[in-house]
Chains A and B, each alone.
Chain A
Amino acid sequence: MRHGFEEYVRARGDALRRFAYLLCGDRELGEDLVQEVLIKAYRRWSRIEADDPGGYLRTALVRSHVSWLRRRSSGERPGRTGEDLAIDVAPDRPAPDFADRHALRDDLWARLDRLTRAQRAVLVLRYYEDLDDRQIAEVLRCATSTVRVHAARGLARMRTELTPSPSSLSGGTR
């Protein structure tokens, strides 16, 4: 195996795993995705390494994620139902405390499962990778306006999902 490839995987493998986990929402699928992308990248590593391996692999993970999960649809775990996701917060509760906020984040994580893959990828790239919309558009090979649409619809979907509980912690934001 090529030395440079080994060094890269040792140094950056865990970061790739974390990113893939956020994209997939499932550790096993994330592991499979990272392995598949790295196996393909190995063949062209000298070229990838000379350019921007981090950017290349991030892009490959996102693009593979969309097509790859589509292929695996029979094995995809079902999304949780809206009833499962309801937040149990008393209507007159004045302000979120730490436990509430923690519960909200768990709930947000679950609600990411209900987005389309493109919406989820855009949100992960924007809020985890801190890419701007132009960079995200390059990753997804789409127009910047499309990125904005994905982001807006994804965020709107998550807010909508939060609204059944009137005083949901972040339900009224923006």
Chain B
Amino acid sequence: MMLEDDLRTTLREHADEPVVRPDLLDQVRAGIRRDNRRRVAVLGAAVLLVAVVAVPVAVTNGRAPDPVPLQSAPADPAGWERPRMDPPTFPLTPGWTPSGLGASRVGRAGPSVLLTYERGPTEHVEVEVGPEPGAWWAEGDGSDRATTVSGRPAKVRVVGADVYQGMNPGEDQYVGIRWQLADGRWVQVGSEGHSTESDVLRFARGLRLRTVPASPVPFTVATAPAGLVLQTMTENYLCLAPAALLADRDGGRGVCIVVEPPGEDTKPAPEDERLTVGGRRATLSDNPEGPDSLTVPLDSRRVLTVYVKQEDVPLTREQLIRFAEGTTLNW
């Protein structure tokens, strides 16, 4: 038998080895939830600036050699309005934070509000308060233990970086703490990075019922379909969705705006439509349900993308462009 045949057999044998693994969908769901909340940090130190996309759009359709400017900025579609974007406040104020974490930021993911601290791409502490228990960021190994936080029973999970994605083995760890407030709301503290279990417990036990004011909204939206509310908000990510979808704790519903570093999934596909938005090259992606996303590179480090989930907020191509035209980056 030739080496190639042995190799083929070897690969199949190893692929078919029986193995017990956690439910992939649960893992992915937790990751999506985390992803929706954590479009931050990797951008590096944010420069305070205001980038406005709200300028006339020219369209090339990816075929005509020269841009064909629209006659004028289109009027707002019927039934559109400036959306109300009331940024959330956070009900618990920390009395102590691990050193070096820096300033906090208040955000939203569906029905839950978040208080987030970031330091670099791997140091992250987040408190979530919501109507349901929050998600653990890492699968437990059965060693969760009981404790108390402010006199309430709590559960602690610690997972080392050797089994937790994206951290430095031997240096970082995940620490999660979950408890329920007297009024029934759930609190979940998550930390990944250098913070120790005792640090995170001290942080959790220092939380007091006092409001942290709202953080600035990362984007201003001039016009959108009527009735949309702020469904998700982090430092560089914002979603507007019908109020009924506010209950989706995964976040990321409706029409979403994100600014992130250029990456594989911000590169245009060959079939994407090429446009220019405010003098910047842009691409519009379609799927059979309608337009899917509009991507506008802002500079070498940042790409703005507007995603639309058509099942949540049906938008035509022109409406998606109009929405993007009215978007202002506030940082």
- Give residues in A with beta carbon < 8 Å to B: 1-2, 6, 9-10, 13-14, 16-19, 21-22, 27-28, 31-32, 34-36, 38-40, 42-44, 46-47, 49-50, 60, 63-64, 67, 72, 74-75, 101, 104-105, 108-109, 123-124, 127-128, 155, 158-159, 162, 169-171, 173-174
Q: How far is the CB of B244 from chain A (nearest CB, A)?
A: 16
Q: How far is the CB of A158 from chain B (nearest CB, A)?
A: 7
Contact A47 B28 (CB under 8 A): no
Given known A22-B14, A39-B28, A128-B12, contact A170–B285 (CB-CB < 8 A): no
List, sorted by A's number, 23 A–B pairs whose CB atoms are closer than 8 Å: A1-B29, A16-B24, A17-B24, A18-B15, A22-B11, A22-B14, A28-B163, A31-B27, A34-B24, A35-B28, A39-B28, A44-B292, A46-B287, A46-B292, A47-B286, A47-B293, A63-B264, A101-B6, A104-B6, A108-B6, A127-B11, A158-B3, A170-B3
8 A-B pairs with least C-beta separation: A47-B287, A18-B15, A13-B24, A105-B10, A128-B11, A173-B2, A39-B31, A127-B8
Query: Chain A residues near B161 (CB, 8 Å)?
Result: 75
Closest to A173 in B: B2
Q: How far is the CA of A164 from the CA of B285 in the complex (A)?
A: 54
Query: Chain B residues near A123 (CB, 8 Å)?
Result: 7, 11
Known A-B contacts: A9-B25, A31-B21. Give 8 more (CB < 8 A): A18-B16, A22-B11, A35-B27, A44-B292, A46-B288, A46-B289, A64-B264, A101-B6
Given known A10-B25, A34-B24, contact A170–B169 (CB-CB < 8 A): no
B47 within 8 A of A: no
B60 within 8 A of A: no
Query: Chain A residues near B11 (CB, 8 Å)?
Result: 22, 123-124, 127-128
Contact B24 A35 (CB under 8 A): yes
Contact A170 B28 (CB under 8 A): no
Q: How far is the CB of A8 from chain B (nearest CB, A)?
A: 10
Query: Chain A residues near B169 (CB, 8 Å)?
Result: 74-75
Closest to A74 in B: B168
Query: Chain B residues near A19 (CB, 8 Å)?
Result: 15
Contact A127 B7 (CB under 8 A): yes
Contact B287 A50 (CB under 8 A): yes
B1 within 8 A of A: yes
Contact B9 A105 (CB under 8 A): yes
B4 within 8 A of A: yes
B residues 1-53 near A (Cβ < 8 Å) are: 1-4, 6-16, 19, 21, 24-25, 27-29, 31-32, 35
Contact B13 A105 (CB under 8 A): yes
Q: How far is the CB of B88 from chain A (nearest CB, A)?
A: 23
Closest to B161 in A: A75
B residues 294-331 near A (Cβ < 8 Å) are: 307, 309-311
Closest to B24 in A: A13
Q: Which of A36, A44, A123, A124 has the most CB of B within 10 A?
A: A44
Contact B4 A155 (CB under 8 A): yes
Query: Chain B residues near A22 (CB, 8 Å)?
Result: 11, 14-15
Q: How far is the CA of A3 from the CA of B109 in the complex (A)?
A: 20
Contact B10 A17 (CB under 8 A): no
Bits for B246-278, please: 1 = Cβ < 8 Å to A, else 0: 000010100000000000110000000000000
B residues 199-228 near A (Cβ < 8 Å) are: none
Contact B287 A6 (CB under 8 A): no
B165 within 8 A of A: yes
Query: Chain A residues near B250 (CB, 8 Å)?
Result: 1
Q: How far is the CB of A127 from chain B (nearest CB, A)?
A: 4
Contact B24 A108 (CB under 8 A): no
Given known A17-B21, A39-B32, contact A32–B165 (CB-CB < 8 A): yes
Q: Which of A14, A43, A74, A173 has the most CB of B within 10 A?
A: A43
Query: Chain A residues near B29 (CB, 8 Å)?
Result: 1
Given known A127-B11, A173-B2, contact A42–B24 (CB-CB < 8 A): no
Query: Chain A residues near B166 (CB, 8 Å)?
Result: 32, 72
Q: How far is the CB of B57 from chain A (nearest CB, A)?
A: 21
Contact B285 A105 (CB under 8 A): no
Query: Chain A residues near B168 (CB, 8 Å)?
Result: 74-75
Q: How far is the CB of A119 from chain B (nearest CB, A)?
A: 12
Given known A1-B250, A75-B168, A105-B9, contact A42–B285 (CB-CB < 8 A): no
